[in-house]
Amino acid sequence: MSNNPIRSTDPSRRDFLKKTLTGSAALAIGGVLPGFTPKSYARILGANEKVRLGFMGVNSRGLALAGNFALQPNCDVVTISDVDTRAAEKCIHAVAKISGTKPKNTPDFRKALEDKDMDGLVVAAPDHWHAPAAILASKAGKHVYLEKPCSHNPNEGELLVAVQKKYKNVIQMGNQRRSWPNVKQAIKEIHDGVIGRPYFAKGWYTNNRASIGVGKAVAVPSWLNYELWQGPAPRRSYKDNVIHYNWHWFWHWGTGEALNNGTHMLDLMRWGMQAEYPTRVSSSGGRYRYQDDWEAPDTQVINLEFPDNRFMTWEGRSCNSRNVEGSSVGVSFYGEKGTLEYGGGNAYKIYDLDNKLIKDVKNDLPIDPRNKMDPSQALDATHFQNFISAIKSGTPLASDILSGHQSTLLCQLGNIALRSESILDIDPKTGRIKNNKAAQKFWTRDYEKGWEPTV
């Protein structure tokens, strides 16, 4: 797995920007990042200047993101875009209360992207919008903070990687534990050999979600721009049990619990075991707890085999909240000399082969892994600051888009194995499925005509 800066081919972000602003290089701005102006570059160069961000999707997680970014002294929240007029108004009020400045209400984020003085877009809309919105923002010359999962399907993930290479902007995925200090320390300990060679990792997520019932076709609420909410997804009639949160459980818009919460733990497993793409993937599960409109599995196990005798498994239980290893979410790494146990927060424990606790690293900051809106405000700010520093100074990203795609892909391959009812053989160099037509049809999706994402 690469830990290189997102602009590894450039001497540095600062040198790149300086060259763009001087001499004949200034004429090439449009060819490098078409949406940027000299004023934008000048602002980024100033060490004390603020990064100006727009936000897309602020009903739940996006509201928390906007509030947290507004708290950052080197950031201005300048636009709020949401298809729900109520959510937009609530977020604008919250940001104004924090910062003393009222951001613009720009319901269609595409209009916000026309602002040449806006540096980046934070995308927290539903999953089917993640990659298409990030691609549009990149083409407009904006940096992107992209909530996990970075894509709805593997093809979109590959498009994101290609788009970042073309436009050379900063794209950070919101797998925020990559920046939490004790999590980083835990992963470093694994890499330094504290448990010997790690050969197996187990991750999990548990919750007790209620039934979503059977939806009824009703009129679109007056507060909702349903056309824009659907965006790139082929059109479907509005039903009363989808928006706002339950879209997660419909394949048409969402990606199930595996990508909703599994992405975080599979990302840590991949990071700790220094793995990229698997060789074989299998998955079992289904909708077992209730009989309703929920399509994705509420109970699922994903198994992933990697080169060099490495293996990972993830267990998701959406409707039974019994903890594993005393935690609702977490990862355990098993090695030749011991075990490192991570419980989802900013803490970890290390055990030897006799199950003796040999190290206990604690955290004193409050964390609620089941809080779908804002589980860890103070810790998440470290990830935001990494994103801002990458924009201003070229600091290497904790989670660049290639890394984000690789981790997201693990979950997607698990879902594809489940939905195609097959064991997937994977090319470990590319992550692509080999010789399986039934599975290959899930590699991409159909789009509403005219909304297809392109490089």
* pLDDT tens digits, one per residue of 124-170: 999 999 999 999 999 999 999 999 999 999 999 999 999 999 999 99
Mean pLDDT of 61-87: 97
SS3 content of the chain, % helix, strand, coil (to 5): 35, 20, 45
Is residue 79 predicted with pLDDT exceeding 60?
A: yes
Q: In which band, very low, low, confident or very high, does the pLDDT at 195 lie, cut at 50, 70 and 90? A: very high
CA atoms of 354 and 397, how far apart (whole Å) = 38
Task: State how far Cα 398 lies from the chain centre.
Answer: 12
Collapsed DSSP state (helix, strand, coil) of residue 157: helix
Angle at 444 between CA 216 and CA 65, to 5 degrees: 70
| pLDDT given for residue 378 in this prediction | 81
In this prediction, residue 376 carries a pLDDT of 73
**How sure is the predictor about 49, in pLDDT bands with cuts at 50, 70 and 90?**
confident
Buried b (16+ CB within 10 A) or exposed e, 177-206: bbbbebbbebbebbeeebbeebbbbbbbbb
Considering only CA atoms, which of 388, 367, 390 is closest in space to residue 378?
367
Domains of the chain: 13-176+383-398 (3.40.50.720), 179-215+225-378+403-440 (3.30.360.10)
First CA to last CA across the chain, in angstroms?
Answer: 24
pLDDT digits (tens, 9 = 90+) for 329-382: 999 999 999 999 999 999 999 999 999 999 999 987 766 666 555 557 788 999
**Tens digits of residue pLDDT in 108-129:** 999 999 999 999 999 999 999 9
Number of H helices, E strands in the chain: 15, 15
Query: pLDDT grade, residue 15 (50/70/90)?
Result: very low
C-alpha to C-alpha distance for 154 and 116, rounded to whole angstroms:
31
Residue whose structure tokens are 């548990």: 206
**Would you say how long the chain is, in residues?**
455
Sheet holding 143-146, edge to edge: 104-105, 75-81, 51-56, 120-123, 143-146, 171-173
pLDDT at 189: 98
Q: How far apart, in Å, are the Cα atoms of 108 and each of 111, 113, 139, 221? A: 6, 9, 16, 17
pLDDT value of residue 1: 38
For position 45, what pLDDT does the model report?
40
Give which of 97, 108, 43, 53 is closest to 78, Cα–Cα. 53
Two tokens, residue 453: 């994402």
Burial of 407 (0-12, 13-18, 19+ CB in 10 A): buried
Report the alpha-carbon distance of residue 120 to residue 53 in Å, rounded: 5
The average pLDDT across 414-433 equals 98
Query: CA 341, CA 199: separation in Å to the nearest integer?
Result: 14
